Every structure is written in C-alpha cells, then in structure tokens.
Amino acid sequence: MNDDVRRHAPATLRNRAPILAILEQVLPATGHLLEVASGSGEHAVFLASHLGGWQWQPSDPDADARASIAAWTQAEGVPNIAPPLAINALDPTSWPSGPFDAMLCVNMIHIAPWEATLGLFAAAGRLLPTGAPLILYGPYKRGGQHTADSNAAFDADLRARDPRWGVRDLETVADLAATHGFGAPAIHEMPANNLTVIFTRQ
Ligand SMILES: C[S@@+](CC[C@H](N)C(=O)[O-])C[C@H]1O[C@@H](n2cnc3c(N)ncnc32)[C@H](O)[C@@H]1O
C-alpha cells in the first residue's frame, strides 16, 4: 500500500526557481509570509527552505492538498513552515487574523471564480500593513488581449472546464487592487508567458 500523500505538480519544478529569484529581490531578510492556494506544497518547501529568515504559512481549501503540504514539509524537514490552514478565498471567515509581512498566491486566480480574487484582495487589504507586498504569479491578459497563443488556448480550456474560470485581465486586477489600498503593480515577465505581479500596500 502506498500511503505517501505527497502530490506532484510538474509546473512547480519549472517555475519555482524563477519565482524564488523574484522573492529574493523583493523580500527583506525576515518576515512572516502567507501563501494562498499552496496546492501540493512543493513551492512551500522549496521557497521556504531558500528563505530561511521567513516563517511560511501555507494554506489550501482542499483537504488532500493540505495533507500533501504537511507531508512534503515533514519529508523535506523544512523547519520554517507552519501546518497548512484551510483558507478559502471565497469565505471571509476562513482567513487568519494576521498581520503578515507578505502574501503569495501562485496560479489560483484563473482557476477559481472571480469572487476568489475579490476575496483575496479584500483579505490582503486587511492582513498586509503599509509597504507589504501581495505577490501573484500566473498568466494574464494585457489590455483585454492574450499575450500568447498558448495563453489563449489555456484560457479556452479553463472556461470549458468551468465557465467561472479564466485568464484574468491585468488592468481589471490592478483596478481591484487599488480599491483595497494597493499601488500600481510591479510586473515581472516570467517563463512560459506568465507574469509575477507585485502589489504593494500603500
Ligand atoms: C492550479 S493549483 C495551484 C497550486 C499551487 N499554487 C501551484 O502553483 O502548484 C490551484 C489551487 O488553488 C486552490 N483553490 C481553488 N479555489 C480556491 C479558493 N477559492 N481559495 C483558495 N484556494 C483555492 C486549489 O485548491 C488548488 O490547490
């Protein structure tokens, strides 16, 4: 019997080093980071093990994902990762009280209803003090247009799976961010036509 509950998300192996490089640029040496939608937990163990001054709080609404996060944490022996929380961006009561020094959300806002993005920014506005970043990673449309054929195909696939899902428009997300007290985003081009988008609490 295989009782290893660790999940494997192959994309994490491709994007984790570029994401780490951005975090190393923008984060101070120490702090407390809340990761939303941690999924398998592979980002958490990789990123937290390279950012040893940070206390890492992973989360996911999916119980199997939380089991995977805990199993990866134990298997890799990463000391600065807390047990995962059951945060659902759609449920305002599921968030911790904070504050946090940074929030990270990788590949969630296009694979969830738009209301999850609304919930994410509402929470970030509450949980992040002035100067703290909300760091998002994923594909975006710019000015209503896809930036690559592969993103257009991905968007069509997402919408076929669930009409509430879909690649978001960066300007729409930035407008939402402004309503929660965030400045204009710093935008970093990433591999495979993804972006890292960093909103700083004003
Ligand atoms: C494509 S996976 C990305 C996981 C991980 N961040 C990664 O990059 O491998 C999307 C994740 O979003 C989570 N998710 C979906 N809806 C959510 C919501 N409303 N609030 C928080 N997380 C959500 C899912 O459980 C899943 O783990």
Q: Tell me the mean pLDDT per 10 residues along the chain, length 202.
A: 87 97 98 98 98 98 98 98 98 97 98 98 98 98 96 98 98 98 97 97 98
- CATH code 3.40.50.150 for 12-22+31-200: yes
pTM score of the predicted model: 0.98
pLDDT at 2: 65
Distance 23 CA to ligand 1 centre (A): 20
Q: List the chain domain ranges.
A: 12-22+31-200
Place of tokens 């390279």: 50
Q: Which residues contact residue 197 at a Cβ distance below 8 angstroms, ignoring those fewer than 6 apart?
A: 135, 136, 137, 140, 170, 173, 185, 186, 187, 188
29's CB contacts (< 8 A; 6+ apart) are 53
Strand pairing category for 140-141 and 54-57 = unpaired
Q: Which tokens hold the place of 20?
A: 């780490």
For residue 4, give both structure tokens.
């290893």
CA of 124 to the centre of ligand 1 (A): 16
User: Quick one: which H or E segment has residue 106?
Assistant: strand 102-106
Query: What pLDDT was estimated at residue 3?
Result: 85
Q: State the distance from the centre of ligand 1 to the C-alpha of 186, rounded, in angstroms.
A: 23
Instruction: Tell me how far apart the alpha carbons of residues 142 and 83 are, in angstroms, rounded to a whole number.
Output: 36
Distance of CA 19 from the midpoint of ligand 1 (Å)? 17
Q: Which residues line ligand 1 (CB under 6 A)?
A: 9, 12, 36-40, 43, 60-62, 65, 87-90, 106-108, 111-112, 116
